[in-house]
Each structure stands twice: as C-alpha cells, then as structure tokens.
Amino acid sequence: MTYYRIIPEIELDEIKQKKYLDTSSNDWYPYPSNTIINVFESDDPNYICTKYAITIADNRELKPGECLYMIKIEDPPGIIEIDKSQNDFPESRAHHGPIPIKHIIVTKQILLNIKADMRKIKKIIHLKKQPIINNGKSK
C-alpha cells in the first residue's frame, strides 16, 4: 500500500525547515504527541484528494489564496496502524514518531476556492514527483 498526507503550505515549510514531518504540537487521543494521524493508506491518491481535501481545509481554517499539498510517504519508517483517534476517516492511519524528509515526495498542489461560507476544490495540479530534498538540501 501507499501512504499520503494532505497538508497546508505552512506544514510543508516546516518539513523543509526541520527535515522531518511530525505533529509534536498536537495530541490526538489515544496517542502520544509524537503520533501523526491522517496518513491515508490508498492506491488511489486522486480519491484521497477529492474525499478529504475540503475537510482538511476546513479543519486548518485556510484563508482565500492558501492551498494544500499532497505528499506521498515512501517506505515510512516505524509503526503504522489503523487510526483510532475517531476522526471518521476510514483510510486514515497513525504513524508513531517523525517521518524523515527523505521519505516524503510532494505529488499534488490543491488549489481551493474559499469563500466565507464555502470551500471547494478549484484545481488539482499534478506535480512532477520529486523529493523535497536533493543531496541533503531542501528545495
């Protein structure tokens, strides 16, 4: 199976800066603070994108002009299990611990049409699949 996560640009910038993905500032019951939830397991990234992007945009309270990115997590280290945080996302998995940047590839940019009372996907841009870093340097 393949794993994906949908993130706002600010989280992508944090990954580039820290050189890993984590959610150390959030606690998701029943998990400790170093657990990453909403790691979606699927062989169909377009399905994950269209099913969850708007909900994630709502949860992150994105503003007009902001967008989301889909990252692919290749050969994630550590333990991945079915997400028990009761988020009603059946494809969601929980990853214990940070994911180093070398396992992360940005695959899509999700442009949103955001208005005061509504969010919808405007356009999904399929990016050239490439790691966030080359030779240890962030892009």
pLDDT digits (tens, 9 = 90+) for 75-97: 999 899 999 987 789 999 999 88
Buried b (16+ CB within 10 A) or exposed e, 34-73: ebbbbbbbeeebeebbebbbbebbeeeebeeeebbbbbbb
Q: What is the CATH number of domain 3-138?
A: 3.20.170
* Tens-digit pLDDT profile for residues 31-78: 877 888 899 999 999 999 999 999 998 888 888 888 999 999 999 998
Please tell me the predicted confidence (pLDDT) of residue 64.
84
The position carrying tokens 């611990």 is 97
Smallest Cα–Cα separation from 105: which of 139, 129, 82?
129
Structure tokens at 22: 């984590």
Domain definitions of the chain by residue range: 3-138
